[in-house]
Every structure is written in structure tokens, then in C-alpha cells.
């Protein structure tokens, strides 16, 4: 049995989510994937299981060490359904504190097409903002306070044109200067200056909400990861970017030309002030990006070591009990963990199901012998006030949202990417010059130093890896 906490991944069957599931499971984390399949397929869960089982078989000679992957088909707008999933993984209360086998959440589920966000802004605010608040509410009720949030380089708006974007260009702390015209950008800006579309604004607002939540309660440990341009696919060819919707990003558009669904690639803007006239982006291999999440989760776990099998931080438990009882000490964790009821299926390994509120509701309710229960039905308004009181006389530590760029730090133009994909595929990949797209920034490149220094993470894959893996995925996919 794994000693790592279970990680719940919303949007887990999507492009970045599925690659992150693989990296988490290969590192020993059991995972719970939640997805409404609006832009993914249920079959992705089995592909992830196959990749990970092959990894453990190659390593150990058999797949018995493969961590669990439980999949729930659920919309994050379904608050009761979310609460039911957390209830499913609840452990008995300890001295009035909710405990969960879920140790942290990675929140990918969102709508992400920039152009669609302009025509359907309310859908974007509903899914990306209300959905985020629902996830936070469900986490809070279950006392799960560690979250990684999928943010985006779009929060920098057009500020990236000046060069590599540092995290400080867009901050949410109240002491950041508010005037966008501040000449000293190194001090950062408060406010979403230059964001050109509703999608980008949902990402900025999401970060702002998370900063407020962090400030409200020091128990929250929240990290926003600002992705630049994720591309590529898993080296197995089994999973990659396969959007059901009309693609907006460069690589899915290239794929549609290479697989014959489109006759030519439209290159939006060939007269920018760049060497070849096309926009420049920081393309990051999706496996590197997934490993960035692994690094961030590992750091959060280091900051808040949890009682194995529980979301309850060791420190909180010690404070609650005065001293740690022997049966909850790390050395006896396997015993404590295996005694819990488990939602496993007949094969004892994987579980996949659709959620209805009634199907899960009372299955694993907290024990009722506790004196001061905080039930999952606690009103949202009271939940943030309830936890982690600061001891009298002890100064409260500021609890800020942690923010990291995940990018390579190198720029590649649209035409350079087209050339690299022509080389990898051996196909002509016809292009046609089109007008600039409203909202596109000319240059968007990460300054990745902070993630290197604080997360011990660095992108290692090359543009050739990106193109070879994308082409392999396309060929495997076309034949499957």
C-alpha cells in the first residue's frame, strides 16, 4: 500500500490532467480523477492505467505496485456530487476535525478556448469561477487544504511582450501597486492589466479568489501554476491532446492538418515585429508540465506532512491531541490505513463510476461519537472561519498564494514550430497566411527561474521531443 496521500484531480481525463495522473501514479500517489467528459473520453482512464501498469511492470517485473486510479464522471458545478465524492473518502473525525484520505487537489477542470470565451463569457465564468468556488467549498468541508490551481500565462496579458515574464508582473497581494501605469514593473501590478479575453480574466479572478482564501486561513496551502504553451504527448503514444471542441491552440490545429481533417494551417499574423513575422511562444512539453505538478505537490507535502492516509496535517493533529498516539504515528501508518473502509472494486484495485448524490451520500459518513462535528453540510459562509485558529499571543503568519511559471524560458515562433512538425512528420503541412487574431500577444515567454529554485523543477524536453511525441501520438491514435 502506498504511503503517499491520495490526490484528487479535477479535469483529470483532459490533456494536462491525464499526463499528470501518469506522473503522480508513477511516483506512488493513488489518484481520484473527476471529469464531466465535456472535452475528454472515459477511455483515457484505462489508457493511463495501462501506461502506469507498464511502468511498474518494467520496474518491478509485475504491476502489483500500481497505485489506484478511481474515476468519477461528475460536473464540478454539481455541489452535492462533489461533497459526495469527498464523503466517499472521508475518515472518521478526530477531535472534531474532519479527516480525509484525500491529501490534496489539483484543479484542472475548466473551459479554455479563448475565442469561445468571447462569445460565451457566462459559460466561462460559471465553469471556471463557480466551479472553482465549488471545489474550494467541498475541500474546506472535508478539511483538505492543499490545492494546485491551473493558471495561465494569459494573466500577464500583453506585459509579456517586453521579455521573459516574471511572476511578480501579476500579483494579488493587497500591497502590490494598483496603478497599471507604474513605471517599475518589477514591483508587480495588482489588477488584470491588458488581459484581452474572458478566459484570461477567469484565470486572473481564480488566482485573486485563491489569494483571498489563503489570507483567510493559514491552513490553506495553495499554489497557482501559470502554464505557458503546453504541447506534445506521452512517449507511449497512448495519450495526447485530443480536444472534442474546435481547437484554438496551434498544435491541435497542426494535428488537424496532418491527419487530413483540414487542408491547410491558418497562420494568424505574419507581419509581427519578430524575425519571421509570426508570434513567439514558450512551448512546454506536457510531460515536463505534469512533472511540475509533481514537484509542487511534493513541496506542499514537505511543508505539511500529513498523517499517512489522512488529510490532517501532523502538526494539527499534535495540537489537537497534545501528543501523537502510537497508533497514528508514521511507523504504524500501514496498519492505520488498511483498516479504513475502501471504495475498491472486486479486483481490489480500480473503481470507475458515475456519481449521483444518492449513490454515495451516506456511505462513509464521519463517526457520530465526535463532540464538535463540522459536517459537509456546514454552510459555506462559516467554513473558512472554523479552522486553524491562531493561538493567542502568536502573531498570524501571512499566508499568500504561491505562484510559479511553468515554461521553458525559450521562445519558438509559429513558423519554427511548423518547420519542426514538417521535419518530424515528413509531411508538407501547407499553411496560409491569415489576419492577426484579436487578443493574441506577440511574444509570451516564461521566466522559469523561480520554479527551478523553489520547486527543484526544470523543463528538460526539447522541441524535437515535442514534435516526435506529437507525431507518434497522431499515428498511434489514427490506428487505434
Ligand X SMILES: NC(=O)c1ccc[n+]([C@@H]2O[C@H](COP(=O)([O-])OP(=O)(O)OC[C@H]3O[C@@H](n4cnc5c(N)ncnc54)[C@H](O)[C@@H]3O)[C@@H](O)[C@H]2O)c1
Q: Point out the residues that are catalytic.
A: 199
123 binds ligand X (CB under 6 A): no
395/397 Cα distance (integer angstroms): 6
71 binds ligand X (CB under 6 A): no
Angle at 76 between CA 75 and CA 81, to 5 degrees: 75
Question: Could you give the 3-state DSSP secondary structure of residue 438?
Answer: coil
83/90 Cα distance (integer angstroms): 10
Question: Could you give the 3-state DSSP secondary structure of residue 146?
Answer: strand
Contact pattern for ligand X over residues 128 through 167, marking x by CB under 6 A: ---x------------------x-x---------------
321/454 Cα distance (integer angstroms): 33
401/147 Cα distance (integer angstroms): 10
Question: Could you give the 3-state DSSP secondary structure of residue 263?
Answer: coil
Pair 193, 159: CB distance under 8 Å: yes
Site for ligand X in 407-426 (CB under 6 A): none
Minimum distance from CB of 131 to ligand X (Å)? Answer: 5
13 binds ligand X (CB under 6 A): yes
Closest residue to ligand X: CB criterion: 14
Contact pattern for ligand X over residues 15 through 54, marking x by CB under 6 A: xxx-----------------xxxxxx--------------
Give counts: helices (H), strands (E), the chain.
Answer: 16, 19
The number of angstroms, rounded, from the C-alpha of 95 to the middle of its chain's C-alpha atoms is 32
75 binds ligand X (CB under 6 A): yes
Nearby residues of 56 by Cβ (< 8 Å), 6 or more positions away:
26, 62, 63, 64, 65, 66
151/115 Cα distance (integer angstroms): 18
Contact pattern for ligand X over residues 200 through 239, marking x by CB under 6 A: ---------------------------x-xx---------
Closest Cα partner for 24 from 44, 42, 51, 46?
51
Pair 413, 274: CB distance under 8 Å: yes
106/22 Cα distance (integer angstroms): 13
Residue with cell 461533497: 83
Minimum distance from CB of 8 to ligand X (Å)? Answer: 12
Question: Could you give the 3-state DSSP secondary structure of residue 103?
Answer: strand
# binding residues, ligand X (CB under 6 A)? 28
Question: Judging by DSSP bridges, how do beta strands 431-434 and 351-354 pair with one another?
Answer: unpaired
Residue number, 16 or 90, with CB nearest to ligand X = 16
Residue with cell 511574444: 443
Q: Which residues bind ligand X (CB under 6 A)?
A: 11, 13-17, 35-40, 75-77, 108-112, 127, 131, 150, 152, 227, 229-230, 249
Amino acid at each position: 500500500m502506498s504511503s503517499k496521500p491520495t490526490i484528487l484531480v479535477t479535469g483529470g481525463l483532459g490533456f494536462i490532467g491525464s499526463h499528470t495522473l501518469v506522473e503522480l501514479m508513477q511516483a506512488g500517489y493513488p489518484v481520484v480523477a473527476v471529469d464531466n467528459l465535456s472535452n475528454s473520453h472515459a477511455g483515457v482512464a484505462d489508457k493511463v492505467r495501462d501506461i502506469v501498469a507498464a511502468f511498474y511492470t518494467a520496474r518491478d517485473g509485475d504491476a502489483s505496485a500500481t497505485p489506484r486510479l478511481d474515476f468519477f464522471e461528475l460536473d464540478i458545478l454539481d455541489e452535492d456530487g462533489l461533497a459526495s465524492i469527498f464523503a466517499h473518502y472521508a475518515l472518521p473525525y478526530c477531535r472534531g476535525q474532519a479527516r480525509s484520505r484525500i491529501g490534496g487537489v489539483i484543479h484542472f477542470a475548466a473551459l479554455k478556448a479563448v475565442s469561445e470565451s468571447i462569445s460565451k463569457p457566462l459559460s466561462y465564468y460559471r465553469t471556471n469561477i463557480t466551479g472553482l468556488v465549488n471545489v474550494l467549498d467541498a475541500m474546506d468541508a472535508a478539511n483538505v487544504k492543499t490545492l494546485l490551481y491551473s493558471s495561465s500565462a494569459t494573466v500577464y496579458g500583453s506585459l509579456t511582450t517586453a521579455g521573459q515574464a516574471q511572476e511578480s508582473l501579476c500579483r494579488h497581494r493587497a500591497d502590490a501597486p494598483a496603478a497599471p501605469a507604474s513605471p517599475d514593473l518589477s514591483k508587480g501590478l495588482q489588477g488584470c492589466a491588458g488581459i484581452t479575453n474572458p478566459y484570461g480574466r477567469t484565470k486572473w479572478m481564480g488566482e485573486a479568489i485563491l489569494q483571498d482564501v489563503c489570507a483567510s486561513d493559514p491552513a490553506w496551502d495553495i499554489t497557482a501554476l501559470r502554464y505557458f504553451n503546453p504541447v506534445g504527448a506521452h512517449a507511449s503514444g497512448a495519450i495526447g491532446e485530443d480536444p472534442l471542441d474546435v481547437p484554438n491552440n496551434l498544435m491541435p490545429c497542426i494535428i488537424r492538418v496532418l491527419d487530413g481533417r483540414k487542408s491547410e494551417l491558418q497562420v494568424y499574423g505574419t507581419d509581427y515585429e519578430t524575425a519571421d513575422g509570426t508570434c513567439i511562444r514558450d512551448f512546454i512539453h506536457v510531460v515536463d508540465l505534469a512533472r511540475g505538478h509533481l514537484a509542487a505537490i511534493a513541496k506542499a507535502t514537505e511543508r505539511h506532512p500529513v498523517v499517512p492516509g489522512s488529510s490532517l496535517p501532523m502538526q494539527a493533529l499534535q495540537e489537537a491531541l497534545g501528543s501523537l498516539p502510537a497508533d497514528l504515528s508514521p511507523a504504524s501508518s500501514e496498519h492505520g490505513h488498511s483498516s479504513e473502509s475502501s471504495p475498491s472494486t472486486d479486483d481490489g484495485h480500480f473503481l470507475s463510476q458515475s456519481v449521483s448524490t444518492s449513490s454515495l451520500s451516506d456511505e462513509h459518513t464521519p463517526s457520530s461519537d465526535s463532540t464538535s462535528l463540522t459536517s459537509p453540510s456546514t454552510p459555506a459562509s462559516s467554513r473558512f472561519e472554523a479552522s486553524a485558529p491562531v493561538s493567542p499571543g502568536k502573531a498570524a503568519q501571512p499566508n499568500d498564494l504561491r505562484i510559479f511559471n511553468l515554461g521553458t524560458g525559450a521562445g519558438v515562433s509559429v513558423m519554427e514550430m511548423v518547420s519542426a512538425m514538417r521535419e518530424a512528420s515528413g509531411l508538407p503541412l501547407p499553411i496560409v497566411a491569415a489576419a492577426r487574431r484579436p487578443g493574441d500577444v506577440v511574444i509570451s515567454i516564461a521566466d522559469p527561474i523561480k520554479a527551478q529554485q523553489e520547486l527543484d523543477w526544470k523543463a528538460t524536453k526539447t522541441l524535437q521531443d515535442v514534435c516526435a511525441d506529437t507525431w507518434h501520438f497522431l499515428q498511434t491514435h489514427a490506428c487505434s
